[in-house]
Chain A
């Protein structure tokens, strides 16, 4: 990755974070914390990794991405908008009556959304079915899914992991957003899923642990995933819930609410200052 490429990714990720704040503020609800922790990974995925065409969202040979942690929809929508799937200004319609930006992703309403998700555990199953189908259909496309660390408390997730390994889905790459917080608090206190890498390895995945806010590490992990044959791949990402907005960072209380006027202004001030700093680099 060149310095210029990295700078562009940092700028895009900052704009995505602005989109997350704009949309959840406009909605007076939504899930900013887990959207902000996933923003860097999704930015890299949509701008560098996925073989997709914003002008032809239904292109049958495209790579697929499933947001299994569907509540991070504001991050997905912001990335899709900046990638050119729909106008950035529409992010402000999030969760409004009649908007195509539903509270959780709807594949039939939003261009670029490959699977309707929101009920935790189901997205990763659907993605594993896509990967199986791609193999059966001899398509070269790859299938990606992003899960929450709290989400892996769902039993269905482990059914999907067994399935992915059993059918040798090496076109399938999952990432786990280990931001360490869920609604009721620290995941280790609520219902510990640790140790995550050991469990994934035991389920037959090739595993890579990275800093989920470091683009070089994200790139390296995704390259390794693509080169891995015979088994599915898991990227365990160490992330910060609420990353990029000072008062939201590492706060479980920012899992599922929108910022008020004052909070919105502070978040926007911080993110715009960051954006100016990056653009001046």
Chain B
């Protein structure tokens, strides 16, 4: 995909917020001294009177956003995933989740691909934390086009939403003319029958690469993009399991509590099927360039291919 342009989903987020801001005066943005990094600065530039910096105080920011939502506004709240889902977990749980308030959390710098900042900032637990909150929608876009559509869908949806965004540019593989987004729906990108590869976020591009590599080896892989982690698209998973009989899940998240576990939970109850979970294997990350770290932790097409070959053997 060398000829394809790459855009970080945090940029897609900031640009879409600015567009939505022009369309809806009830949209306000809260940030915690990271506007330049989460890209809410793009919105801030366009609508300075609607962008509220809360300082380095994420707990207050989340609950304040809940209060603003209770007044009828639609707050988009941003910080790094580590602080949005991690530090402010209990505020998200008790002040946003429990009252089911209309707050949208745009959490950037998720996963290992944060890179050089290292483990303290590489949140690989946010899916697990957010999935556990009743009524919380949990999403993660795979590219620029999906991210933009997702932010719009989050605005339209009534209720709390967690969106996981990345720091590093990711290839734009969707065709804007043939693309539509719906919360809770997965997408078959390559159809196949030997093994199903279900991926989310930046791993979807790797899964597509893996699908192409497997095809060259005569293996028919079904590649599924899963932008919504919760509610999971049960039917697309069950169909894939029925057709392929083997599943590989791919996420830039701990193998505990994320997409892989959601798929395993579903299949173990409805259609027991062998599953391999590719993700961060219950370890902390480390500093380094994102591209090197992703390979080091096995978050790459080669590792998907190797797992698929072992499974179909």
| A interface residues with partner B (beta carbon < 8 Å) | 60, 64, 66, 106-108, 114-116, 118-119, 121-123, 125-134, 136-137, 139, 155-156, 159-160, 162-163, 166-167
A129 touches B55 (CB 8 A): no
Q: Contacts A125-B64, A128-B64, A133-B73; is A167 near B52 (CB within 8 Å)?
A: yes
B70 touches A114 (CB 8 A): yes
A125 touches B71 (CB 8 A): no
Contacting residue for A136 out of B28, B62, B69, B70, CB 8 A: B28
A130 touches B71 (CB 8 A): yes
A115 touches B52 (CB 8 A): no
Contacting residue for B98 out of A116, A123, A125, A129, CB 8 A: A116
B59 touches A125 (CB 8 A): yes
Chain B interfacial residues counted at CB < 8 A: 29
A128 touches B67 (CB 8 A): yes
Which of B89-97, B245-253, B271-279 lies at the binding interface? B89-97
14 A/B residue pairs, CB under 8 Å, sorted by A: A60-B72, A119-B94, A122-B59, A125-B60, A126-B70, A128-B64, A130-B68, A130-B70, A132-B67, A133-B72, A134-B71, A136-B28, A137-B71, A163-B57
Which residues from A are CB-within-8-Å of B70? 64, 107, 114-115, 126, 129-130
Most central of A114, A123, A126 by chain B CB within 10 Å: A126
Which residues from A are CB-within-8-Å of B64? 125-126, 128-129, 132, 160, 163
- Cα-based distance from A236 to B124 in the complex (angstroms): 43
SS of A interface (majority):
helix
Which residues from B are CB-within-8-Å of A64? 70-71
Which residues from A are CB-within-8-Å of B52? 132, 167
Closest chain-A Cβ to B100's Cβ sits at a distance in Å of: 7
How many contacting A-B pairs (Cβ < 8 A)? 109
A133 touches B71 (CB 8 A): yes
Which residues from A are CB-within-8-Å of B63? 122-123, 125-126, 129, 156, 160
Contacting residue for B50 out of A129, A136, A155, A167, CB 8 A: A136
Chain A CB within 8 A of B65 CB: yes
Which residues from B are CB-within-8-Å of A163? 54-55, 57, 60, 64
Which residues from A are CB-within-8-Å of B98? 106, 116
| B interface residues with partner A (beta carbon < 8 Å) | 28, 49-50, 52, 54-55, 57, 59-60, 62-73, 75, 90-91, 94-95, 98-100
- Cα-based distance from A64 to B72 in the complex (angstroms): 13
A121 touches B67 (CB 8 A): no
> Chain B residue with minimal CB distance to A118?
B94
Closest chain-B Cβ to A147's Cβ sits at a distance in Å of: 13
Q: Contacts A115-B70, A129-B65, A130-B68; is A121 near B59 (CB within 8 Å)?
A: yes
Which residues from B are CB-within-8-Å of A136? 28, 49-50, 73
> Chain A residue with minimal CB distance to B63?
A125
> Chain A residue with minimal CB distance to B97?
A116
Which residues from A are CB-within-8-Å of B91? 122, 125, 156
Which residues from A are CB-within-8-Å of B65? 129
